[in-house]
Amino acid sequence: MPESKETYDAVIIGAGPVGLLLAVCLARWGYKIKNVDNREIPTLTGRADGIQPRSLHLLRNMGLKRQIMAHEPAKVYEVAFWDPLPGGKGIHRTGNWASCPKFIDARYPFTTLLHQGLIERVFINDLHKNGADVQRPWTITGFNNDGHDEHYPVEVTLKHVQTNERETVRTKYLFSGEGARSFIRDQLGVKIRHKDPISHVWGVMDGIVRTDFPDVKTKCTIHSDHGSIMIIPRENDMVRLYIQIASSTDKDFNPRKRATLEEVQASAKMILQPYYIDWDRVEWYSVYPIGQGIAEKYTIDHRVFLGGDCCHTHSPKAGQGMNTAFHDALNLAWKIHLVEGGFAKRSILHTYETERKSIAEDLLNFDAKYAALFSRRKPSAGEVGAANESKEAGEVNEFVEVFKSSAEFTSGYGIAYGPNQFNWSPDHSAQSHLFNPKGNALRTGRIMPPANVTRVVDANKVQLEQEIPLNGSFRIFLFAGVPSTTQRAVADFAANLEKQSSFYSSFQRKDIAAVSYHERHNPHSRFFTICTTFAAPRAQLEIAKLLPPILARYSDHVYADDVWDPRFPDAKAAAHAKMGLDVGMGGVVVVRPDGHVACVISLVEGGGTVDALNEYFGAFVAKKIGKSKMQAHL
Ligand SMILES: Cc1cc2nc3c(=O)[nH]c(=O)nc-3n(C[C@H](O)[C@H](O)[C@H](O)COP(=O)(O)OP(=O)(O)OC[C@H]3O[C@@H](n4cnc5c(N)ncnc54)[C@H](O)[C@@H]3O)c2cc1C
């Protein structure tokens, strides 16, 4: 008889940002995971540190922002650009730019700076709350998708790094979050394509400094006659300095080139002249060689997946590594949840690679442009002095221009997934004429914009897009317009949701009879949460009178669109206006579990709206839906 082995829903190798976020999501949603890391202890200092605006928004949605902020991170609102002064007189500030400019509709328009270890600890604490942990110091020695067990097709062998104790387990999914050097990626034979052949060696130093340099508490990029440097403020009054030590464009380039701490400090002193800088303490110093690369595949068999630095590496300057890792993990987590929860066809897992690889390609293109400008020899003081109209002076502006034009992308709000079964487009198999109503301002594949509304039950002003926590469910936002006008359409919408064959009823919870009275988000189904927003003042809204029981059950998710928004100063219902939905008609916005807009549908009298939703979900759910006319009672 074959030996019985411990089984898992997912075995995750690596407990850096990508592995931990995947582990947290799956553990929260009830999956059995094993997360191993070959280091004895979590990251103590240094490494990645920048949480971009969209990532902080995500962490808030996971209920983790407060724990991050408890570490009192630095917040960067501005970037200052410094360049050489004419006549060799040192450097001067040539401009400032918002790190997340106003044209980006962000809840948190700043970068949060905190070292990777503190961020990892927030995730590890969350794992503990859900009965999981990181197994250290363990590593992987082999794996095989042998299919011997149809439910747990992948066998994984693990080993304790010090004692050599061994363990063999079976799993539904194996994930490599091993960082840039990945055993799993190598075993799969997945190649890294080097997009930009140029590689760099960076010196990175975190410490407490004394200086009269005025911008030490904001992010700065500094070009001088003595080299270039980047300054980033950190938690606990620390400052990070990045200095490029070598570049493969140098005549004498050596990727193993090192610089001592003292050499880097001496360079920093030269670059910052006429200002002084001295160190009270250095917390972390590392020399960090990095080339640009992207994995050719993120999976081969849709059982063994790769993510994070294992799939993409690039310079640290734009602070994207950890953020991209977060979104890789999130993208895979909810798709695994939909498949393993019995909701979606296994084929949806293909979209992990297509969606995330295209974002990594965009990131590397941006990074190559930015890094080239950062590394290019800057004009000498004499050249700049003579050069108001010269080409070199133009180069300095080009750097600022690239920074500005890329702000949306680097903030995380520019992430746009292309059309596929989740992100509706005219090529989608769902063809109802109710999709994409005229005037709607939303773009499928992009984040739903933030909107402030009043929660009807308690009169709290709340952030609509944050009201549904990251629970793996699709978020159905019913913008119900003016109640007197849309009453019939809302009633028909509810009646059609209740039909036994509707997308909604087809995925009813098995334990529906036992669901707690206090369940706010998933009273009927683990895959949907519904929010209803009326274009009316809160005082005029009485839930029991306005909403049929299926919608009234979500009483904590009924809102009044009566909060003034500076972006829509003349709108009576700013959230409707922001979405581009007519208050006389309303509309339905379906948002994916990760907050990206899936589709927008007109709200109409009769069955059309739910029929369109049946068509939309019918494109990827694991059951046939939308055919029977029988009624169900939820
Ligand atoms: C030395 C260093 C310095 C860095 N400095 C910066 C910086 O200054 N700024 C910046 O933005 N980014 C920096 N980065 C990159 C940044 O840390 C990553 O972009 C980010 O952490 C990506 O997260 P990840 O989870 O994909 O990988 P990682 O954070 O690298 O996590 C991978 C984890 O997997 C573990 N692991 C690896 N292989 C195995 C294995 N076979 N078995 C078990 N466990 C394994 C590792 O110990 C690690 O804990 C640095 C990376 C390194 C390695």
Which DSSP string do the residues of 453-475 spell out, in sequence order?
EEETTT--EEEGGGSS-S-S-EE
β-pairing verdict for 304-306 and 166-176: parallel
Render pLDDT for 362-416 as a digit per residue (tens, 0 to 9): 999 888 887 776 666 444 444 434 433 334 444 446 766 777 778 888 999 999 9
Q: What is the CATH number of the domain that holds 502?
A: 3.40.30.20
Query: Which of 159, 234, 309, 310 maximizes ligand 1 atoms within 8 Å of its Cβ, making it the mutation to test the pocket?
Result: 309
For 84, the enclosing helix (H) or strand (E) is strand 78-84
More confident residue, 89 or 633: 89
Give the nearest ligand 1 atom to 14 CA.
34
CA of 227 to the centre of ligand 1 (A): 27
What are φ and ψ of residue 339, in 5° steps?
-75, -50
CA-20 nearest atom, ligand 1: 25
Using CA atoms, how far apart are residues 502 and 505, in angstroms rounded to an integer?
Answer: 5
- Please report, for residues 335, 398, 429, 445, 446, the alpha-carbon distance to residue 419 in angstroms, rounded to integers and kept in the order given: 16, 32, 11, 7, 11
Span 422-434, average pLDDT: 98
- Tell how far the Cα of 406 is from the centroid of ligand 1, in angstroms: 25
Decide the pairing of beta strands 50-51 and 111-113: antiparallel
User: How many angstroms is it from 566 CA to the middle of ligand 1?
Assistant: 41
In a domain, 515, yes or no: yes
Q: What is residue 359's predicted lDDT score, i.e. its pLDDT?
A: 95
Which residue, among 595, 340, 578, has the nearest Cα to 469 in the 3D structure?
Answer: 595
The pLDDT score that the predictor gives to residue 88 is 87
Residue 367: what pLDDT?
Answer: 84
Q: Per the omega criterion (within 30 degrees of 0), is the bond before 274 cis? A: yes
Q: How far is CA 367 from CA 12, 196, 409, in A?
A: 28, 9, 11
Residue 253 pLDDT class (50, 70, 90 cuts)? low
Residue 197: predicted pLDDT: 67
Reported as a single tens digit per residue, the pLDDT across 523-547 is: 999 999 999 999 999 999 999 999 9
Which of 46-55, 143-152, 301-310 comes out lowest in average pLDDT?
46-55
Q: What is the mean pLDDT of the chain?
A: 91
In a domain, 166, yes or no: no
The more confidently predicted of residues 622 and 383 is: 622
145: pLDDT confidence band, cut at 50, 70 and 90? Answer: very high
Residue 254: the pLDDT is 66
Please tell me the distance from the alpha carbon of residue 386 to that of residue 484, in angstroms, as a whole number.
70
Round to whole Å and give the CA distance between 238 and 45: 12
440: which 2 tokens? 């709607």
Question: Over 60: is that where the pLDDT of 449 sits?
Answer: yes
CA of 180 to the centre of ligand 1 (A): 7
Identify which has the larger pLDDT, 391 or 245.
245
Over residues 286-310, the mean pLDDT reads: 92
Mean pLDDT of 109-121: 93
Q: Residue-wise over 412-440: b if at least 16 C-beta within 10 A, else e?
A: bbbbbbeebbbbbeeebebebebbbbeeb
Judge whether 206 and 239 are in contact, CB under 8 Å: yes
Model confidence at 167: pLDDT above 50: yes
Q: Is residue 77 part of a domain?
A: no
Q: Is residue 298 part of a domain?
A: no
Q: What gap in Å lies between CA 249 and CA 149, rounded to an integer?
A: 52
pLDDT at 194: 84
Q: Domain tally for the chain?
A: 1
Nearest one of 230, 246, 310, 180 to 49, comparing CA atoms: 230
Q: Say how many residues make up the chain.
A: 634
pLDDT digits 0-9 by tens, 453-504 = 999 999 999 999 999 999 999 999 999 999 999 999 999 999 999 999 999 9
Enter the tokens of residue 388.
Answer: 């108001």
Q: Note whether residue 398 is domain-resident.
A: no
Task: State which H helix or E strand residue 9 sits in.
Answer: strand 7-13
pLDDT digits (tens, 9 = 90+) for 541-573: 999 999 999 999 999 999 999 999 999 999 999
Work out the average pLDDT over 291-310.
95
Residue 613: which pLDDT band, with cuts at 50, 70 and 90? very high
* CB of 185 sitting under 6 A from ligand 1: no
Residue 522 phi, psi (nearest 5): -130, 55
Rounded CA gap, 512 and 346, in Å? Answer: 25
Residue 314 has a pLDDT of 87
Which residues span the domain enclosing 481?
Answer: 452-618
More confident position, 201 or 121: 121
- Centroid of ligand 1 to alpha carbon of 131 (angstroms): 25
pLDDT exceeding 90 applies to what percent of the chain? 79
Measured in Å, residue 309 CA sits from the centre of ligand 1 at 7
**Coil/strand/helix, residue 480:** strand
Q: Is residue 338 predicted with pLDDT exceeding 90?
A: yes
In which band, very low, low, confident or very high, does the pLDDT at 628 lie, cut at 50, 70 and 90? very low
CA of 47 to the centre of ligand 1 (A): 8
- 606 lies in a domain? yes
Residue whose token pair is 């949806």: 348
Which residue has tokens 């939905």? 581
Confidence (pLDDT) at 195? 74
204 Cα nearest atom in ligand 1: 8
Ligand 1 pocket mutation, candidates 135, 178, 240, 328, criterion most atoms within 8 A of CB: 178
Identify whether 478 is part of a domain: yes
Question: Does 316 contact ligand 1 (Cβ within 6 A)?
Answer: yes
Mean pLDDT, to the nearest integer, of 283-293? Answer: 85
What is the 3-state secondary structure of 129-180?
A: HCCCCEECCEEEEEEEECCCCCCCCEEEEEEECCCCCEEEEEEEEEEECCCC
Q: pLDDT at position 457, please?
A: 97
Bigger pLDDT: 172 or 99?
172
**Mean pLDDT calculated for residue range 187-193:** 96
Q: Which residue has the tokens 């109802």?
A: 432
Considering the domain boundaries, does residue 286 fall inside one? no
pLDDT at 218 > cutoff 80: yes
Q: What is the CA radius of gyration of the chain?
A: 26
- Closest residue (by CA) to atom 9 of ligand 1? 48
CB atoms closer than 10 angstroms to residue 14: 31
